Amino acid sequence: MADVITYRQAVAEGIAREMRRDPAVVCLGEDIGAAGGVFKTTAGLYEEFGSGRVWDTPISEQAIVGAAMGAAMTGMRPVAEIMFSDFLACCWDYLANEIPKVRYMTGGQVTVPLVVRTANGGGLGFGAQHSQATENWALTVPGLKIAAPATPADVIGMMAAAIRSDDPVVFFEHKGLLAAKGAPAPPDHVVELGRAAVVREGADVTLVALASMVPVALTAAERLAEEGIEAEVIDLRCLVPLDTRTVLDSLARTSRLVTVEENPYQGGWGGTLVSVVADEGFGLLDAPVRRVAAECVPLPFADALEEQVIPTVDKVVTKVRDLTAY
Amino acid sequence: MTHAPHLEASQLLALYEQMAVIRRTEKAAHDLFMSGLVKGTTHLAAGHEAIAVGASAALRDDDYVFATYRGHHHALARGATPEECLAELMSRATGLCGAKGGSMHLTKASRNMLGSYAIVGAHLPMAVGAAWSARLRGTEQIAVAFFGDGATNIGAFHEALNLAAVWKLPVLFVCENNLYMEYTPIADVTAVANPAADRAPAYGIPGEIVDGNDVVAVQEAVTRLAGRARAGDGPSLLEAQTYRHFGHSRADPATYRPAEEVERWLKHDPLDVARGRLAELGVPAETVTEADERATGLVQKAVEAAKNAPAPDPREALTDVWADGGAAWRT
């Protein structure tokens, strides 16, 4: 086993492990076959498993996700790729109306064990229609589980959990992390959905982050440590199920909370998290909660403009510094 | 062709009786709605019976069926009982979906009737997926999507046809063309004369038109096209021409329809057409009347049973979101 693995390799490795384990796992999506995916996140799958298990589709997002749903309802465990998360809007009916509701409105008759994978977020200069962090869209829909790993090992472990889940999972792979390297995952590595990870311990403030914002929060924490502020960093890993217990336990230690979100402030997951804290953990707080989130504008193209919109290490450091002085 | 040589009189009589049960169930649904016992809305399929019954007669029991919000007839033709369906419409615990679905979502998964979908056209790709699954599992099952003429102008219709064609999947698309897209004549909003069949050549698949009010013609067409799908020759599209007896939904009196058009189609009622075929096969009129009486009795009993069934336990509102049976969004 290699000493390190990239996030993009982890995606393909995570899928491959499940395809080896379970013949019901099949993949479909645009350019995922011999091409290996536009982000090379399915590289090697076609060569190992062949055209009978890795299916190239037309540019037909409704057909991709609709067909995945039909297959999931009838005994398969499809893994569908929607190339960029912005394109989820093209098949939003399936994500908002069909997949998450069919179990409920049939009184539990139908199970939909599928995974919709998608490349999420900014940082690569793709402009407003290929750069959004859209995990908050899915968050508004009852019936979808939402995974957003930040490390290669978590990609593999959470992919295993997502594919084995009898519930539909939207799996956000962050474009800005694809080249990131990390420890490989041991054999049979499974990270249960809905378990946040404390990735840095600290006594002064809790930073809660997701996906690409985890390394931003960790870097900010290192900078803050130089000033004598010890931040605890939580990688939320999943939005549904939401691990509020880990957050409240951390708050009991630190008494201060900052959420770090790439999605826009309006409607972002941090709003849900801080409302739980306000409801159930108000007594744990010694200061107001703070949210660092994207501005409510489309993602601009130029780096200098994008930095104005999405959270940066500087923005997090400034917010935390202000809060600890409260 | 005056009759189907492979349909025996007894078989046709059974299909007739199924249609009679559906017709009476739809009438009961209408009456219950008007008397305030069915809330929300209903989209009745009275007039479309021959399509559901004829197609079902041509399918295997384990084939997959997907329907629209106008899908009572498909649920009934695929094995749901009038009592289950009416209880669902009347918000009873004994309803087909535990009263969580309602008229627009009748589903009988144990019979592979995998649902009625109320977003127009959404279920066509699902049927493609079920057909793909059948092929992956090597089962020789096929999937059938029933949909209305209005769905032919939805993007998912075209995406589904193309994907089914390029992957050569065992799926049959059956359009119930009842001439109206809700309240608007389909011809007023569609660029081709036959909204489904005329589009089939664009995807390189067969597109046939059938008299959707003739159960025998439907049974024959679906037998042929299903056999083609099962043999590995890919998808096809069947446009069944039919007519709604009621309006689009609820109490829509459908006054926008020309009287002579309504009269012409009511004279071509699928039950009458089937009666004519039964007479041709030598089935005595009294035998057909007995079938009618059985259907009437069955539906009357179903109405009474559904009326007397309990309301759902309110706690059921918080079950069935997830596969573990619950609805928790936090760990």
Q: Are A111 and A33 within one domain?
A: yes
Question: What pLDDT is attached to residue B252?
Answer: 86
Place of tokens 């067909």: A67
In a domain, A190, yes or no: no
Residues A131 and A324: their CA atoms lie apart, in Å, by 32
Residues A205, A172 share a domain: no
Which residues of chain B are modeled with pLDDT < 70? 1-6
Tell me whether residue A252 is in a domain.
yes
Q: Look at residue A92 and give its three-state secondary structure.
A: helix
**Unique residue bearing structure tokens 């080896």:** A20
pLDDT for A227-262, tens place per residue? 999 999 999 999 999 999 999 999 999 999 999 999
User: Is residue A309's pLDDT more than 60?
Assistant: yes
Cβ neighbours of B330 in A, within 8 Å? 194, 241-245, 276
Q: Which residues, in sequence order, are bridge partners of residue A54?
A: A27
Q: Would you say residue A33 lies in a domain?
A: yes
A187 within a domain of the structure (yes/no): no
Is residue A73 in a domain? Answer: yes
| Interface membership of B279 toward A (CB under 8 Å) | no
Could you tell me if A21 and A135 lie in one domain?
yes
pLDDT of residue A1: 57
Residue A206: strand pairing partners: A232, A257
Output the CA torsion sign for B74, B78, B83, B85: negative
Short-list B74, B46, B13, CA closest to B249 = B46
Bridge partners (DSSP) listed for residue B147 = B175
Same domain, A167 and A206: no
Q: Domain limits at A133? A: 5-182
Domains held by chain A: number: 2
Q: Is residue A71 part of a domain?
A: yes
| Separation between Cα atoms, residue B331 and residue B321, nearest integer Å | 15
User: ipTM exceeding 0.90?
Assistant: yes
**Last residue of a domain, which of A149, A182, A215?**
A182
Given CB atoms, is B51 within the 8 Å cutoff of chain A?
no
Residues A159 and A59 in one domain: yes
| Same-domain pairing of A172 and A289 | no
Whether A76 maps to a domain, the answer reads: yes
Query: Cβ–Cβ of B130/A194 closer than 8 Å?
Result: no
Q: How far apart are the C-alpha atoms of B155 and B280, rounded to whole Å?
A: 44
**Is-cis flag, bond preceding A241, omega within 30?**
yes
| Chain A: closest CA distance from residue B132 (Å) | 7
Are residues A140 and A201 both part of a single domain? no
Report which of B118, B140, B119 is spatially closest to residue B131, judged by C-alpha positions.
Answer: B140
**Among B315, B320, B322, which Cα is nearest to A241's?**
B322
pLDDT at res. B4: 44
Residue whose C-alpha is closest to residue B87's, from B73, B106, B70: B106
Does residue A50 register a pLDDT over 80? yes
- Judging contacts by C-beta atoms under 8 Å, the chain B residues touching residue A113 are 323
Closest by CA position to A67, among listed B71, B65, B156: B156
Window 281-320 of A, Cβ < 8 Å to B? none
Average pLDDT over residues A195-212: 98
Q: What percent of chain A shows pLDDT beyond 90? A: 98
User: Model pTM?
Assistant: 0.96
3-class SS at A53?
coil
pLDDT tens per residue, range A205-221: 999 999 999 999 999 99
A322 in contact with B, Cβ within 8 Å: no
Same domain as A247, residue A281: yes
In this prediction, residue B253 carries a pLDDT of 87
So what's the pLDDT on residue B146?
A: 98
The C-alpha atoms of residue B144 and residue A156 are separated, in whole angstroms, by 37
d(CA A149, CA A117): 12
Residues A237 and A173 in one domain: no
By annotation, the residues of A acting in catalysis are: 130
* Helix or strand run (H / E) with residue B211: strand B207-211
- The mean pLDDT value for A40-69 works out to 98
Could you tell me if residue A78 is inside a domain?
yes
Phi, psi of B21 (to 5 degrees): -65, -45
Specify whether A246 is located in the same domain as A104. Answer: no
Q: What is the pLDDT of residues B1-59, one digit of tens each?
A: 444 456 899 999 999 999 999 999 999 999 999 999 999 999 999 999 999 999 999 99
B320: chain A residues, CB-CB within 8 Å: 103-104, 107-108
Identify which of B114, B319, B329 has the shortest CB distance to residue A110: B114
Residue from A61, A104, A110 whose CB has the most chain B CBs within 10 Å, to mutate: A104
User: Does A47 lie in the same domain as A160?
Assistant: yes
Distance, CA of B230 to CA of B173 (rounded, Å): 14
> Which CATH number does the domain housing residue A96 bear?
3.40.50.970
Give residues 208 to 227 of A whose Cβ lies within 8 Å of B: none
Tell me which amino acid residue A151 is: T
pLDDT in tens, A285-298: 999 999 999 999 99
Structure tokens at A209: 């982050």
Determine contact: A252 vs chain B, CB below 8 A. no
Model confidence pLDDT, tens digit, residues B290-328: 999 999 999 999 999 999 999 999 999 999 999 999 999
Residues 224-243 of B with CB under 8 A from A: none
User: Minimal Cα–Cα distance from A66 to chain B, Å?
Assistant: 5
Contacts of B293 (CB under 8 A, 6+ apart): none
Contact A70 B156 (CB under 8 A): no
CATH number at residue A308: 3.40.50.920
Is some CB atom of chain B closer than 8 A to the CB atom of A67? yes
Same domain, A167 and A38: yes
Enumerate the residues of chain A whose CB falls inside 8 A of the CB of residue B110.
Answer: 109
- Closest alpha carbon to A48 in A77, A65, A72, A27: A27
Locate the DSSP E strands across chain A: 5-6, 25-29, 54-56, 77-84, 115-120, 145-147, 169-174, 181-182, 197-200, 205-209, 231-235, 238-240, 257-264, 290-294
